[in-house]
């Protein structure tokens, strides 16, 4: 893939983000892990996990992220407005209450539809949290 060109349906996406989202002309959503990983996150702080949205169909409308509740984890899953641009940035936030390792299941839907096969529009993301070290006095 040439840098700056939109990826095809199943091609790699040029990103350092841990996930990528691709939307085809039928508004089917494909979300996938990338080679980047999410490092351990400190408890009590909001952390943003960004991702590219590659819109190969120039679809406009809403992209919604849904997630199942996870104990001791807060998810801020904003609705993204698809502009029709070939690529735009998206993200969500996560905050942990305790040190833990969790499996967060996220489902991405464009235009209110399931979009594609459910196995392609959903993603399991393993997240870890830890206590921030105390500052040296």
CATH code, 25: 2.60.40.10
Tell me, yes or no, whether 118 lies in a domain.
yes
Tell me, yes or no, whether 88 lies in a domain.
yes
Rounded to an integer, what distance in angstroms lies between the CA atom of residue 50 and that of residue 116?
Answer: 22
For the chain, how many structural domains are there in total?
A: 1
pLDDT value at 116 more than 80: no
Q: What is the reported pTM?
A: 0.81
The parent domain of residue 43 ranges over: 19-130
Q: How does pLDDT run across 3-31, given as a tens digit for each residue?
A: 444 444 455 567 889 999 999 988 889 99
Tell me, yes or no, whether 27 lies in a domain.
yes
Q: What is the pLDDT of residue 111?
A: 81
- Give 84's DSSP letter: S
Tell me, yes or no, whether 13 lies in a domain.
no
């Amino acid at each position: 893939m040439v840098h700056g060109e939109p990826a095809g349906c199943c091609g790699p996406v040029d990103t350092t983000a841990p996930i990528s989202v691709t939307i085809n002309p039928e508004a089917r959503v494909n979300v996938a892990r990338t080679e980047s990983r999410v490092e351990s996150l400190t408890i009590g702080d909001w952390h943003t996990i960004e991702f590219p949205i590659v819109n190969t169909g120039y679809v406009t409308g809403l992209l919604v992220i849904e997630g199942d509740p996870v104990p001791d984890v807060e998810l801020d899953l904003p609705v993204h407005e698809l502009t029709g641009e070939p690529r735009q940035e998206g993200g969500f936030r996560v905050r942990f209450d305790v040190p833990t390792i969790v499996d967060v299941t996220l489902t991405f839907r464009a235009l209110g539809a399931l979009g594609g096969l459910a196995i392609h529009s959903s993603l399991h993301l393993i997240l870890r949290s830890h206590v921030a070290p105390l500052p040296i006095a």
